Amino acid sequence: MSTFVIPADARSWIDVASNSDFPIQNLPYCSYAAERCQHGSIAVRIGDFLVDLYELAEAGLLPGFEFHFCIDFQETLEHAGRESLAGVRKALFELLLEGNDTLKGDEGLRAKVLIPIEHAQILMPITPNAFVDFYSGIHHASNVGRMFRPDQPPLLPNYRHLPVGYNGRASSVVVSGTEIHRPKCQTKGPNDEMPTYGPSKELDFELELGFITGKGNEMGVPIPIAEAEDYIFGIVLVNDWSARDTQRWEYQPLGPFLSKSFATTISPYVVSLDALEPFRIAGPVQEPAVLPHLQAPRASHYNIRLEVAIQTAKMTRPQVICRSNAQHLYWSFVQQLAHQASNGTPVEAADLYATGTISGTAEGSFGSLLELTWRGTKPLTLEETGETRTFLEDGDELILTGYCQGDGYRIGFGECRGRVLPSL
C-alpha cells in the first residue's frame, strides 16, 4: 500500500508545543469515553486536544469513509482496515493544516470536535484478540544467557534463525495508568526442599514496543514478508510486567506462564507506520543470513528513542533509569509477523505483538531491573531518596516513554504508566 508522510515543515492552526509528542506529523489514534458513547469513541490526538472522528464524520468532513466511529477500535479496524484509516489520517491532516478554515472557522462544530485532553478519559485503544510476546532484543537475550547459563553460549542455537516468542494472555492487557497488583505465584529457591505460594518477591518491568494488526489472513495462508507491513496498523509502548522468581521455577520446559500472564500495560495512542516512515533505518546485520521467508525486502527497523523512569512512594519526581532505542532489536516488526503467520496461523485485526525487552549494550540502556541490577547483585540507588532497588516494591510507579526526533518536531507515544499495589 502507499505511504502518506506529512512534511516536516507542516504546521497546524492548533497550537502544539515544540516538544509535544503529538504534532500534526503524528496524528495517532486512540479511544476515549465520549458523553454519547461511554464505552469508547475513536479519536486522533494533536497537541493537547483529541479530534473526535464520529463528530467529524457526522458533519460530513470525512467523505468517502462510511464506517461508524462510535465503536471500539477493534471493530473500526475490522470494518476499515489500515488503508482506509490511513486515508482518514490524510483527510485529518488537510483539515488541521495551517490555513484551512473549514473546521477552524466553524466555532460550534469545533467545540464538538476538539476535546481538551484534560477533560478526556482515555481508554484502551483496542481489546486484543491475541497477545504474542517475542524475544527480539538481542542484547537482553544475551544478558539473560550470561546470567543463567554462564558456562554456555549466551544465545541459544535458534536465536539468529527465527524470532523466538510465546503466546501470552490477551485478557490481562491493560491501558496506561492502570494499577497492577503484585501477583501471587509458586516459587522455589535453590536451597528450598519444596516450593511455596505467595507474593512475588522479584517483580520486574520490561521495556518493549508492540504492533497492532490492521487486518488478518485466512487460516492456512502465510503472510509473505513483502506484504507484512500492509497488515500492521500501528505501534504502542509495552511494559510486560514479569515475576522473575516465578519465571525461574516455571519456565522449563514450556516457557513463561503465570510469571507473565497477570498484567501487560500498553500506551493508549496507536502511532501509524506512516508517521514513523521518516525514521526507518536498517537493523543489525543478521548473521548467518536468515531463510528467504524472513528476509525483509527493505530496511524495516526504526530509530525510536526509549526511556524508563521510576517513582517510589517517597519520591516527589520520577528518575530515569534506562535509555534505549528500538534499533537494538534483532528482529523487526515485519519479520516477527511473517514468522508468526509462516505456518498458516490465522492473524486477526487488533492482535497485539510485543517485541520483547529492548536493551542496549551499556548498563544504562538495559530494559529491565533483572539486567540493571544484574540479577539483584548490583542494587540501583535512587538519587532523591537514597533508596535502593533490586526489584520493584509496592508503591513503585514505572513510566515508559518513547519518541522519534525529527527536524523541529517529534513523533511520540505518550506514556505507558503503571503503579504496583500489594497482592490481594
- The C-alpha atoms of residue 296 and residue 284 are separated, in whole angstroms, by 13
Helix (H) or strand (E) holding 53: helix 53-58
| Burial of residue 276 (number of CB atoms within 10 Å: 0-12, 13-18, 19+) | buried
Three-state secondary-structure class, residue 87: helix
**Does the annotation count 181 as an active-site position?**
no
> What phi and psi values does residue 339 have, to the nearest 5 degrees?
-70, -45
Assigned C-alpha cell, 280:
526507518
DSSP letter (8 states) at residue 374? T
Beta carbons within 8 Å of 361's beta carbon, 6+ residues apart: 139, 328
Buried-exposed string 354-368: b where 16+ CB fall within 10 A, e elsewhere: bbbbbbbeeeebbbb
User: Residue 221: what residue type?
Assistant: V
From residue 5, alpha-carbon distances to 112, 261, 273, 296, 402 in Å are: 28, 37, 10, 21, 20
Among the listed residues 39, 68, 79, 140, the single catalytic one is 140
Strand 131-134 with 352-354, pairing = parallel
Residues 6+ apart with CB under 8 A from 385: 312, 314, 315
> Per DSSP, what are the bridge partners of residue 131?
352
Please give the positions annotated as active site: 140
